[in-house]
């Protein structure tokens, strides 16, 4: 049995503290994962994992092997691509996560171009509005929009998403379009939150180097970007959203841009990956492609 494959399986189980989660991440049956761990323990003649009814933990020997294995596997990834001149030979699974709007508006319509360049890369794209756990869920890289909390992950800053204020044409016909900040009290905001009960609805704008807020009445509160956009198209009020989400509807005439002098501050965009000495080349080329795609669309500054 391939010793490197045994180490890869062990590292995933150790990181996820679960045979089931590791089998999902590796695309292997749980029985195969268990057998590979037993084979590695027999090979090294030591217990690597302590199994309980709730989770799996590394033993002292297992923790030492885990630390050494991460570096070894990263170095092997680098060696495999060291003498490759043609990126088309890059292979292996690549699991990435990004916001729903980015995936739907930008990446999915163009991802066939990346696949054509690298047909042997097994690309898996997750799109959600929640912040996935990169290590525990087995992602190679994730895109984050907004300020980053303190993290042990490596962050590659890509740029800033331009923001826009919008209402639907139907809303403007019924209630008019606000021309000044004072007009906002006569209008309704569609309130977007990551968790219900988090703060009051506010219209945000950036002026003279400061972030400012105007407290507004809300017509509805949602926690999903698809619902946020649908509520705007349904004429429920004002949204503040990255230009990439509304660009199509603006061009088609469904939405109307308002208050262009009172835009929110651009939102930082970052690509995050686990802290490794060497980043697999397949992940590097995907991040390069993503950055170029965002620049080409003109949605980042």
Mean pLDDT of 102-124: 90
Q: Which of 246, 236, 229 is nearest to 164 (CA)?
A: 246
- Cβ neighbours of residue 194 under 8 Å, at least 6 residues apart? 129, 223
Of residues 133 and 185, more confidence is placed in 185
In terms of domains, do 188 and 234 share one? yes
Task: Give the CATH number, domain containing residue 210.
Answer: 3.40.190.10
CB of 178 closer than 8 Å to CB of 258: yes
Token digits of residue 206:
């950036």
Q: State the DSSP code for 54.
A: S
Could you read off the pLDDT of 127-170 as tens digits, one per residue?
877 777 787 777 889 998 888 776 778 888 888 888 899 999 99
Listed in sequence order, the DSSP H helices in 118-191 are: 169-175
For the chain, the domain total comes to 3
Mean pLDDT of 255-274: 90
Task: Give the CATH number, domain containing residue 21.
Answer: 1.10.10.10
Range of the domain at 253: 163-257
Q: Inform me whether the pLDDT recorded for 83 exceeds 70.
A: no
Q: State the DSSP code for 300.
A: B
Q: For residue 262, is it within any domain? A: no
State residue 249's pLDDT score: 65
pLDDT band at 267 (very low <50, low <70, confident <90, very high): confident
Contacts 24+ apart (CB under 8 A), 9-12: 9/33, 9/36, 9/37, 9/40, 10/36, 10/37, 10/40, 10/48, 10/62, 10/65, 10/66, 10/69, 11/66, 11/69, 11/70, 11/73, 12/138
Q: For residue 196, is it within any domain? A: yes
CA dihedral in degrees (207, 143, 100, 15; nearest 10)? -140
In terms of domains, do 144 and 280 share one? yes
Q: For residue 64, is it within any domain? A: yes
Of residues 181 and 67, more confidence is placed in 181
Could you read off the pLDDT of 119-128 as tens digits, one per residue?
888 899 998 7
Q: How far apart are CA 240 and CA 129, in angstroms?
A: 16
Cα radius of gyration (the chain): 24
Q: For residue 222, is it within any domain? A: yes
Task: State the first-to-last Cα distance of the chain, in angstroms, to the nearest integer.
Answer: 50
Q: How far apart are CA 139 and CA 136, in angstroms?
A: 8
Q: How far apart are CA 74 and CA 277, in angstroms?
A: 7
CB of 69 closer than 8 Å to CB of 75: no
Half-sphere exposure of 154 toward its Cβ, with a 13 Å CA cutoff?
Answer: 13
Burial of 97 from C-beta contacts in 10 A (0-12 / 13-18 / 19+)? buried
Q: What are the backbone dihedrals phi and psi of residue 161, each rounded to the nearest 5 degrees, phi first?
A: -75, 130
State residue 20's pLDDT score: 85
- Cβ neighbours of residue 40 under 8 Å, at least 6 residues apart? 6, 7, 9, 10, 48
CB of 255 closer than 8 Å to CB of 168: yes
Q: For residue 263, is it within any domain? A: no
Q: Which of 68-77, 132-141, 253-262 has the lowest mean pLDDT?
A: 68-77
Last residue of a domain, one of 34, 63, 82: 82
């Amino acid at each position: 049995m391939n010793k490197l494959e045994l180490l890869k399986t062990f590292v995933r189980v150790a990181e996820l503290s679960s045979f089931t989660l590791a089998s999902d991440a590796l695309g292997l049956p749980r029985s195969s994962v268990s057998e590979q761990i037993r084979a590695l323990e027999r090979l090294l003649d030591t217990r690597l994992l302590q199994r309980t009814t709730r989770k799996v933990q590394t033993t002292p020997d297992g923790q030492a092997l885990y630390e050494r294995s991460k570096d070894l596997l990263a170095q092997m990834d680098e060696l495999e691509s060291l003498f490759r001149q043609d990126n088309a030979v890059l292979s292996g699974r690549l699991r990435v996560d990004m916001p729903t709007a980015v995936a739907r508006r930008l990446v999915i319509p163009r991802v066939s171009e990346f696949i054509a360049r690298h047909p042997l890369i097994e690309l898996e794209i997750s799109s959600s509005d929640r912040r996935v756990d990169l290590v525990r869920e087995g992602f190679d890289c994730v895109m984050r929009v907004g300020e980053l909390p303190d993290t042990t992950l490596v962050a590659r800053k890509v740029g800033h998403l331009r923001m826009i204020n919008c209402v639907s044409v139907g809303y403007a016909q019924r209630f008019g379009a606000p021309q000044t900040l004072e007009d906002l009290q006569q209008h309704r905001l569609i309130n977007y939150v990551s968790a219900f009960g988090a703060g009051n609805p506010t219209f945000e704008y950036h002026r003279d180097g400061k972030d400012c807020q105007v407290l507004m009445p809300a017509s509805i509160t949602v926690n999903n970007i698809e619902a946020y956009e649908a509520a705007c198209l349904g004429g429920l009020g004002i949204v503040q959203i990255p230009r990439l989400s509304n660009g199509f509807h603006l061009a088609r005439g469904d939405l109307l841009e308002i208050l262009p002098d009172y835009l929110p501050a651009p939102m930082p965009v970052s690509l995050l990956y686990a802290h490794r000495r060497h980043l697999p080349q397949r992940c590097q080329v995907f991040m390069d492609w993503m950055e170029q795609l965002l620049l080409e669309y003109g949605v980042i500054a």
